[in-house]
Amino acid sequence: MSDGAKGRAATRTAIVDAAADLLREGGPAAVTTRGVAERAGVQAPAIYRLFGDKDGLLEAVAEHVMAAFVADKAAGMAAATAAEVDPLDDLRASWHRQIDFSLANPAVFRLLSDPERVLGSPAARMGRQLLETRVHRLAAAGRLRVSEPRAVDLIQAAGIGTIQILLASPPERRDPALADAMMEAVLSRILTDATADAPAGAADGPLAAAVALRASAPRLGALSDSERRLLVEWLDRVTEDGAAPR
């Protein structure tokens, strides 16, 4: 990297860090060009050259903060997998980390709750991929009774809704049990065993087996590519039908 590129990268980092501090302290309204420039020790035109406008800067800050959080979650999942932590315990822990992070960073949550911003956010995509991996571990263990995409969507929707409700209430009036209640409600819908010692229902058995086989189908080396694709198509049909309301 040339000296000029290094200088631009250092300036960009200083600006993002300064804006992130102001965002945490006072929300988006506190992230003014003058305030960021003073805190970062740069001239205001540098902000416009690097980020275009305030919205561009806010998006960069939200992405920076979220990316650091997602990296921590990825490291936590790797450690949980290596330690053979129960996938359900890992999912619950990840859920609580997400809730706590969002409540501690409401401005970042609100910025990345905008569907248009989410579509362009690498950190948001990585966060969903981590959730997909956690759900896949449950499916492979035979503990999921809906398709993996359905489970991911339900968990993500419940999480966003829970955070929005909590942020809409003053901190002293927030229901401390809401996040746990929502998690358990979702688990009761997607799992064969919402609690560790709960037996799988008779109706869940075939569907859970289909979901588990679907999770392993891409790695079935005894089948040809066309056979695997056909098996996946069949299993997707079974799991989607099983998840449909009756």
Q: What is the pLDDT of residue 3?
A: 66
pLDDT at 144 over 60: yes
pLDDT at 195 over 50: no
The two three-digit tokens of residue 18, written as one number:
């300064």
Q: What is the pLDDT of residue 200?
A: 43
pLDDT at 215 over 90: no
Q: Are 166 and 119 in contact (CB under 8 A)?
A: no
Predicted confidence (pLDDT) per residue in 167-180, tens digit: 999 999 999 999 99
pLDDT at 137 over 50: yes
Q: What is the mean pLDDT of residues 71-90?
A: 90
Comparing 164 with 207, the larger pLDDT belongs to 164
Q: Which residues pair with 191 in a beta bridge?
A: 144
CA separation, residue 69 to residues 94, 100, 123, 184 (Å): 11, 11, 9, 24
Q: Comparing 89-98, 154-163, 202-211, which segment has the lowest mean pLDDT?
A: 202-211
pTM for the whole structure: 0.75
pLDDT at 18 over 90: yes
Q: What is the mean pLDDT of residues 57-86?
A: 90
Q: What is the pLDDT of residue 226?
A: 84
Predicted confidence (pLDDT) per residue in 1-15, tens digit: 676 677 888 999 999
Domains of the chain: 1-52 (1.10.10.60), 71-243 (no CATH)
Q: 214: which residues sit within 8 A by CB, 6+ positions away?
A: 139, 147, 148, 232, 235, 236, 239
Q: Comparing 27-36, 105-114, 222-231, which segment has the lowest mean pLDDT?
A: 222-231
| Identity of the residue numbered 144 | L
